[in-house]
A and B are shown apart, each in its own frame.
Chain A
Amino acid sequence: MNLESLYQEIILDHYKHPRGRGLRDPYAVEVHHVNPTCGDELTVRVVIDGDTVTDVSYDGQGCSISQASASMLFELLVGHSIVDDLATTDEFVKLMQGRGQVEPDEDVLGDAVAFAGVAKYPARVKCALLAWMAWKDAVSQAAASQTPEVAP
């Protein structure tokens, strides 16, 4: 284990040059999540159209891991179906909770496989998951609010 395996180039690049950062209007649902142990916080907005996630916008402050993770989430999820995005989320969570024993699926996670090194540092897993937990909360609220009361 070394620092370079944790702070891979691609993670530092997303940290220094975040993709899709900034809160955008309109949106379906907004959530605000915090990491109570360190005070990091993130606001996430989602926009869905039918089954498709059309935007995830975010803003917040925190460490390189939490902010890079939000940036990668944006790249991975926007423009895909809710079902696919939830599967991607599950894959990411599985990787992060694997304590370095889970082989990441690059086809699903793309650049986010770089977070494999973070899984070896249990104290930082929550940082990496902050955006993903917020997004999951937001999209489930958004999906619930557009589900018709009675199925056709």
Chain B
Amino acid sequence: MTAVHAPVSGLLDVERVAADFPILSRTVRNGNRLVYLDSGATSQKPTAVLDAEREFYTRHNAAVHRGAHLLAEEATDAYESARERIAALVGAETRELVFTKNATEAINLVAYTFSNATAKALHGRALPDGAERFILKPGDEIVVTEMEHHANLVPWQEVCDKTGAVLRWIGVDDDGRLDLDHSEHGLEAVLTDRTRVVALTHQSNVLGTITPVARIAAAAHAVGALVVLDACQSVPHMPVDVSTLGVDYLAFSGHKMLGPSGIGVLWGRYDLLDSMPPFLTGGSMIEVVRMEGSTFAPPPQRFEAGVPMAAQAIGLGAAVDYLAAITSTDGSLSGLDAVAAHEHALTAYALESLADVPGVRVFGPLATESRGSVVSFVVDGIHAHDVGQVLDDRGVEVRVGHHCAWPLHRRFGVAATTRASFYIYNGTRDIDDLVAAVRHAQSFFGVTGGAAS
């Protein structure tokens, strides 16, 4: 099947990019070309990242921030250099960047700050100066949105259960945008003078919707609330600058942005980090330890208990270098600007191509304005699992299910969707293969709309 659409401009030289990713040269299921369309779940890794991890273990491996020997110095330098480069990517100060296991842990770190501060205050125990703002009282309110990934929903439900706070949420309209009006679940109605936290996603991992963060953050700050942003689907795909974004915390994961698994990032305003009690405790996060009690190191070390995941942080540093070095085909854009332009063009092509298939319904914005590169859809008459199975049989690897956003699927009245998500190594050929495979699924299951292929 050949593409019927006009040539697409703004794309990267996909063949050249894909050559940097060894896994993309393998075949799957009976010798099919691998069409990897699941980068929203996890991205593939370029050789530069694999080499950086291997180089660390073969040349510099030692426990970071411990010991005075040469290897410990080299390991610590490499780890802290990665922190600097990752911080620079998102416009952060180096000391504001905390390494975590993943973004889920980063969000839990902030959530536990509230329940830990509340518990300590209840018993009259010591808290850092300024920690009052993390103490919750019954009836205080935490606001999330209906489009959150479970990782930015369940931790806040838990905080509410532990403190007596009340969870409220901003709703989602039929186009997949947040309700910003005065309706029951509209921003204006949901935010009150009891709101203490607003936790939201920068980009929906299901709908692709990019949320109006600046507007929501301004409204949250106007009522005295702190803003926590889940940036897992934005930082890998577009320029993000915490110095202008207006939020107080931002979390993202390394493995979705070409980096290794096992490394996530929490950015927080330094004055906030400095006034927070610790989350995980133990070695290397302390200042003085006595049998009677302990005091804690300044951020970011306060939040990095135990021997850290050095190789993963260094791998993520290499991923950030790789992303920064990407250049558009005509040389006019570089770094994440070039990544965003590529994905924007690809998403437009995908939305247009899927619109041509009868019986396929896309959820989320149908235009590319304020929209990222995940495209979730249902194929009428075929369960998403079965769609995914037929696609997989042809080498097209997508995500099926609720994508850890069950309430959002309930909102749209579907149990599961099929999600294709794109990155720098995907091109229009991948989308043509996706569409052909969807048509084949329709034909295989004998539902209307499909043409044999």
**How big is the B interface, by class?**
10 to 19
Our pick among A1, A2, A3, A63 for the contact of B385 (Cβ within 8 Å) is A63
Q: Which of A34-42, A96-104, A141-149 contacts B (4 or more CB under 8 A)?
A: A34-42
B51 shortest CB reach to chain A, Å? 31
Query: Which listed residue (B29, B385, B409) contacts A65, Cβ 8 A?
Result: B385
A3-B444, A38-B402, A39-B409 given as contacts; is B393 within 8 A of A62 (CB)? no
The answer to whether A38 and B389 touch across the interface, beta carbons within 8 angstroms, is no
Chain B 411-453 interface mask (CB, 8 Å, partner A; 1/0):
0000110000000000000000000000000001100000000
A37-B401, A39-B409 given; A64·B383 CB < 8 A:
yes
Which residues in B have their C-beta under 8 angstroms from that of A2? 30, 393
CA distance A3 to B443 in the complex (A): 13
- Which residues on A sit within 8 Å (CB–CB) of B384? 38, 63
A136 within 8 A of B: no
A61 close to B (CB within 8 Å): yes
Question: In the bound complex, how far is the Cα of B415 from the Cα of A7, in angstroms?
Answer: 21
| Least distance between B191 CB and chain A CB atoms (Å) | 30
Complex CA gap A46/B386 in Å reads 28
Could you tell me the distance between the alpha carbons of A37 and B385 in the complex, rounded to whole angstroms?
11
Highest count of chain B CB atoms <10 Å: which of A6, A39, A41, A61: A39
Within the complex, what minimum Cβ distance (angstroms) separates A74 from chain B?
19
Asked if B390 CB lies within 8 Å of chain A CBs, one says: yes
A64: chain B residues at CB < 8 Å are 383, 385-386, 445
* Alpha-carbon gap, A81 to B383, bound state (A): 34
Chain A residues positioned under 8 Å from B390 (CB to CB):
3
Complexed CA–CA distance, A3 and B415 (Å):
23
Residues of A within 8 A of B385 (CB): 38, 40, 62-65, 124, 127
**Docked-complex contact B401 and A63, CB < 8 angstroms:** no
Known contacts A63-B385, A121-B389; A38 and B409 CB within 8 A of each other: no
Interface core residue of B30, B383, B400, B445 (most chain A CB under 10 Å)? B383
Q: Which residues of A contact B279 (CB under 8 A)?
A: none
B386-A39 in contact (CB<8A): no
A1-B389 Cα distance, complex, nearest whole Å: 12
Q: How far is it, in angstroms, between the C-alpha of A39 and the C-alpha of B414 when the chains are bound?
A: 10
What's the least CB distance linking B38 to chain A, in Å?
Answer: 13
* Shortest Cβ gap from B205 to chain A (Å): 15
B406 within 8 A of A: yes
Q: Decide if B393 touches A63 in the complex (CB within 8 Å).
A: no
Contacts of B401 in A (CB 8 A): 37-39
From the candidates A1, A12, A40, A121, name the one contacting B415 in the complex (CB within 8 A): A40
CB distance from B385 to the nearest CB of A (A): 4
List 4 additional contacts besides A3-B393, A65-B385; criterion CB under 8 Å: A3-B444, A6-B389, A40-B415, A63-B383
6 cross-chain pairs, A with B, having the tightest CB-CB distances, nearest first: A63-B385, A63-B383, A38-B401, A39-B402, A39-B415, A3-B393
- Give B residues with C-beta under 8 Å from A: 29-30, 383-386, 389-390, 393, 400-402, 406, 409, 415-416, 444-445
Binding site for B on A (CB under 8 A): 1-3, 6-7, 12, 37-41, 61-65, 121, 124, 127
Show 24 A/B contacts (Cβ-Cβ < 8 Å), sorted by A: A1-B29, A1-B30, A3-B389, A3-B390, A6-B389, A7-B386, A7-B389, A7-B444, A12-B445, A38-B415, A39-B401, A39-B402, A39-B409, A39-B415, A39-B416, A62-B415, A63-B383, A63-B384, A63-B385, A63-B386, A64-B383, A64-B386, A64-B445, A65-B386
